[in-house]
Homo-oligomer: A and B are copies of this chain.
Amino acid sequence: MQLLKDMILSEGRIVGTDILKVDSFLNHQIDPRLMEEIGKAFSSIFSSCGVTKVVTLESSGIAPALSTGQQLGVPVIFAKKTASRNLDNDAFLSTVHSFTKGNDYVIRISKKYLKSDDVVLLIDDFLAKGCALKGLIDIVNQSGARIAGAGIVIEKGFQEGGAMIRDMGVRVHSLAIIKEMSEKENHISFADDANV
């Protein structure tokens, strides 16, 4: 997706070997025009799959998931990271490891909103090691719903998550796959078009 790649190149900042900061347009400040285009792209890619629910994880996944749900005309569910008295105890749970924070956390979706006849499109902002996405897949599998695929805004192609999730038989479509990036040279190349 050219608009996204352009914004990654012009506004993204590389920190160390594996952090790409895109908080000016994706996960702290959100560019509404980009988000609309992201929704249209995922909607187009998965339009023939009979999707009935879009599922993501709070917080950064909510914007691209909502935009996609609006285009597809289906409800959006965001998994919660914390227990809340506002969420039923009757929920599907999965434990996710965070490499960023060095801990495990539990994600949950109420059993009321995922049924065995649902067809789920998973959406997330990043795919790196794949832990969060694996947790979402686990939850959807518990519900008996079918997974149409996963739409990822930015995949770090140099980390193992993409291969792991695809090896699980889940169709993954990422709008930008980063092949390599270098803080020192301030250089980013994309897997599907190294010259962008």
Is residue A21 within 8 Å, beta carbon to beta carbon, of the partner chain?
yes
Task: A24 to B62: give the CA distance in the assembly, Å.
Answer: 15
Instruction: Look across to chain B and name the residue whose beta carbon is closest to the beta carbon of A33.
Output: B73
Identify A77's interface contact among B30, B78, B87, CB under 8 A. B30
What per-residue 1/0 map shows which CB atoms of A4-42 lie under 8 Å from chain B? 000000000000000101011101111111011000000
Taking a contact as CB atoms under 8 Å apart, the answer to whether B69 and A66 are in contact is: no
Q: Shortest CB–CB separation between residue A39 and chain B, in angstroms?
A: 10
Task: A145 to B163: give the CA distance in the assembly, Å.
Answer: 45
Identify A63's interface contact among B36, B62, B84, CB under 8 A. B62
A23 and B66 contact, Cβ closer than 8 Å, known pairs A28-B77, A28-B80: no
Q: Please state the number of chain copies in the assembly.
A: 2
Taking a contact as CB atoms under 8 Å apart, the answer to whether A27 and B75 are in contact is: no
Is residue A183 within 8 Å, beta carbon to beta carbon, of the partner chain?
no
A80: chain B residues within 8 A (beta carbon):
28, 59
Is residue A85 within 8 Å, beta carbon to beta carbon, of the partner chain?
yes
Task: A112 to B13: give the CA distance in the assembly, Å.
Answer: 14
A45-84 interface (Cβ within 8 A of B)? 58-59, 62-63, 66-67, 69-70, 73-78, 80, 84
A84: chain B residues within 8 A (beta carbon):
100
Task: A25 to B113: give the CA distance in the assembly, Å.
Answer: 10
Q: Which 6 A-B pairs have the closest CB atoms?
A: A58-B59, A59-B59, A32-B70, A30-B76, A62-B62, A32-B69
